[in-house]
Chains A and B, each alone.
Chain A
């Protein structure tokens, strides 16, 4: 029975990947395409946030700060003539390294102290971004960031990223990479270690899990991907400002993640696509939108802490239990 479930999952994944690959041929509207591209980028952000929050149980409010480090790094490097393809990994590593520096002192403390320290760090990033005019351009930010330079594929020739289709495949590729990494990390003994930290830190220590190392690692890896997403964002959008590192972004991703379903791999992606679309649809509500989201956040964390995906898997489990019970009763009646 467990095997059957697993197979079903694999084919579902395949279906989704195929769907994602043919998507450009189904979409003609530029605006929708933009939303999809942003959805993919934000998915990388929510997936990485999920690693710290959903799986390891730590609240990091500096996520947008690392996104910002990634964007500004790529922006500055490409402006100096460095190729995007070199700047991106460097920027991601820089974000990861900064994460290490910040994580080392702050992860030794209680969870709530860590959360506040990350919040403070995130604010420091955005304040520095806004005031270090010589480097970051202050509140006007940096404009005219180049698109990723064309890639040469043997046999196909150069692929430029001028078109939205190409940009979409670029972002999709990185999203799939992020998914692969997360999947491998989470569905392993290693990932169990993260969840152990989340569930019961003391017991985790007692069974030999180095909780500090685990928290630090999930933090650093998550920040790597935040920086990665930021770097891609800078290049595709072309201009960035301190708002790229603002706490509001972190709060947004937090909402996407929790509504979609933390501690799952589908939840963050679901949230990152569905919620912005809903937000877009209810533009007419203007200021009330965010109030609704604030209320939603509270309601979800109190009554539906596992988000939409959690609700779905609960439903599935209940349905399966009903089915099994029904089968059992039939067997009992027959035998």
Chain B
């Protein structure tokens, strides 16, 4: 029983990470229809920036996190501008390939600067608390709490602010939005900035728990895609739910079935579900 609860806790924590990363991706893929394949690598870069600021300049954890988020927001805009915008009138296949170029640059750039081996970010909250027999480290609790806060903030942003509603408008009808004077390019930039920033936040929160490495974002990025497709392109609730479900699946499956194959669950599920419902679980039919 204890093992079960422990896995649940771990699953919720990992699920929080997945939820935020998937959320960022669904904004870009669902709303702008850009398959940002490099999303996982932006996440990875966010973690490395945090590490760099803490390691090189001795900044505190929270300051490094904030800086990383801000810098990654700008990186997101840069990526949109250089990698995707030139291809907006071309078939989606081209954007995919361009994305692959971007992720190669990011991954190898990090390797060149910091080396291929994993690095450690010192844990700012090393304590643990025991509840119902579950060991909960403060950092993990922090991840869960911050994730919920981030998700709520994002929902408010999308529903209540002008910028957020503009993004929704573009999502629903790109041409219509342009006709009413919405600068679609600016919306793309902002959406990408948010997407990258949230990914960076998630990465910095999780980084002290695990090691960071240049490849830490690769699988995560792919899982995010699986979550987004299964949860429905552009559906924020789908991304969140999907993230938590996957986190729990992996934790429970890894704990009870096989640790080695847990990464594969998301991918197998995607192929299986696409076989049954080609538009994804909550997808809309493309006319």
A contact residues vs B (CB 8 Å cutoff): 53, 57-59, 102, 104-106, 108-113, 115-117, 119-121, 123-124, 127-128, 131, 251, 254, 258, 286-288, 290-291, 293-298, 301-302, 305
Contact = CB atoms under 8 A, between A and B. Distances in A.
A287 B96 contact: no
Nearest to A102: B271
Contacts of A123: 219, 222, 263-264, 267
B104 interface: yes
Interface string B231-243: 0000000000000
B111 A127 contact: no
The secondary structure that dominates the A interface is helix
A60 to B, nearest CB: 11
Contacts of A116: 35, 222, 225-226, 229, 270
Contacts of B103: 294
Interface of B: 29, 35, 82-83, 86-87, 90-94, 96-98, 100-109, 111-112, 219, 222, 225-226, 229, 260-261, 263-264, 266-268, 270-272, 274-276, 278-280, 286
28 contacts: A59-B97, A102-B271, A104-B275, A105-B275, A105-B276, A105-B278, A108-B274, A108-B278, A112-B92, A113-B274, A115-B93, A116-B229, A117-B270, A120-B267, A120-B268, A124-B264, A124-B267, A127-B263, A128-B264, A131-B261, A251-B104, A287-B108, A287-B112, A291-B105, A293-B101, A294-B102, A295-B105, A298-B83
B8 to A, nearest CB: 25
Nearest to B218: A247
Contact of A127 (B108, B261, B274, B286): B261
Given A254-B97, A286-B112, 7 more contacts: A116-B229, A127-B261, A128-B261, A287-B108, A288-B112, A295-B101, A302-B98
Contact of A305 (B94, B100, B105, B261): B94
A119 B222 contact: yes
Given A294-B104, A302-B86, A120 B226 contact: yes
Contact of B101 (A59, A108, A109, A298): A298
Contacts, number: 128
A116 B222 CA distance: 7
A127 to B, nearest CB: 5
B104 A290 contact: yes
